[in-house]
Amino acid sequence: MRGKHYDSLITFPPNFVFMDQLLQFTDRGIYCEAGDFYIDPWKPVNRAVITHAHSDHAYRGHNLYLAHRKSVPVLKYRLGSDIQVQSMDYMESLSHNGVAISLHPAGHIVGSSQVRVDYQGEVWVASGDYKTQDDGLSTPYEPVKCNAFISESTFGLPIFQWRSQQSIFDQLHQWWRKNQDEGTASVILCYALGKAQRILSGIDTSIGPVFAHGAIANINDLMISAGEPLPEVLRITADTKKESFRKALILATSSVLNTSWLRKLAPFSIGYASGWMQIRGNKRRRAADVGFALSDHADWNGLNTAIEATGATKVFVTHGYTYQFSKWLREKGLDAHEVKTAYVGEQIDESGEGEGFENTNILNEVPLP
Ligand SMILES: [Zn+2]
Ligand SMILES: [Zn+2]
369 alpha carbon to ligand 2 midpoint, in Å? 23
CA 298 to ligand 2 center in whole angstroms: 12
Residues 252-270, buried b or exposed e (16+ Cβ, 10 A)?
A: bbbbbbeeeebeebeebbb
Q: How far is the centre of ligand 2, averaged over its atoms, from the C-alpha of 359 (Å)?
A: 15
Q: How far is the CA of 155 from the centre of ligand 1 (A)?
A: 13
pLDDT confidence of residue 148: 98
DSSP β-ladder status, 30-32 and 24-25: antiparallel
pLDDT at residue 198 in the model:
96
Rounded to the nearest angstrom, the distance between the alpha carbon of 41 and the centre of ligand 2 is 12
The alpha carbon of 355 and the centre of ligand 1 are apart by a number of angstroms equal to 6
Give the E-state strand segments of 69-146 in sequence order.
85-88, 93-96, 99-105, 113-119, 122-126
Q: Report how far ligand 2's centroid is from the alpha carbon of 191 (Å).
A: 12
Report the C-alpha gap between 63 and 46 in whole angstroms. 5
Q: How far is the CA of 112 from the centre of ligand 1 (A)?
A: 8
Phi and psi dihedrals of 66, rounded to 5? -130, 125
Q: Which residues contact 228 (CB under 8 A, 6 or more apart)?
A: 70, 110, 137, 197
Amino acid identity of residue 249, one-letter, is: L
Closest to 289 measured CA to CA, from 274, 270, 273: 270
pTM for the model: 0.89
Ligand 2 centroid to 98 CA: how many Å? 29
At 363 the pLDDT is 35
> Residue 287 has what pLDDT?
75
pLDDT along the chain (369 residues), means of 10: 39 52 94 96 97 95 97 96 97 94 98 97 97 97 98 95 97 98 97 95 97 94 91 90 95 92 95 88 76 95 98 95 95 95 72 39 33
Domains of the chain: 9-160+296-365 (3.60.15.10), 165-292 (3.40.50)
Nearest ligand to the CA atom of 74: 1
Q: How far apart are CA 10 and CA 369, in angstroms?
A: 25
pLDDT at 127: 97
Instruction: Identify the H or E element spanning 166.
Output: helix 165-181
Is cis: bond before 267, omega within 30 of 0?
A: yes
Among the listed residues 167, 46, 56, 36, the one whose alpha carbon sits nearest the alpha carbon of residue 112: 56
- Rounded Cα–Cα distance for residues 28 and 359 (Å): 24
What pLDDT is attached to residue 281? Answer: 73
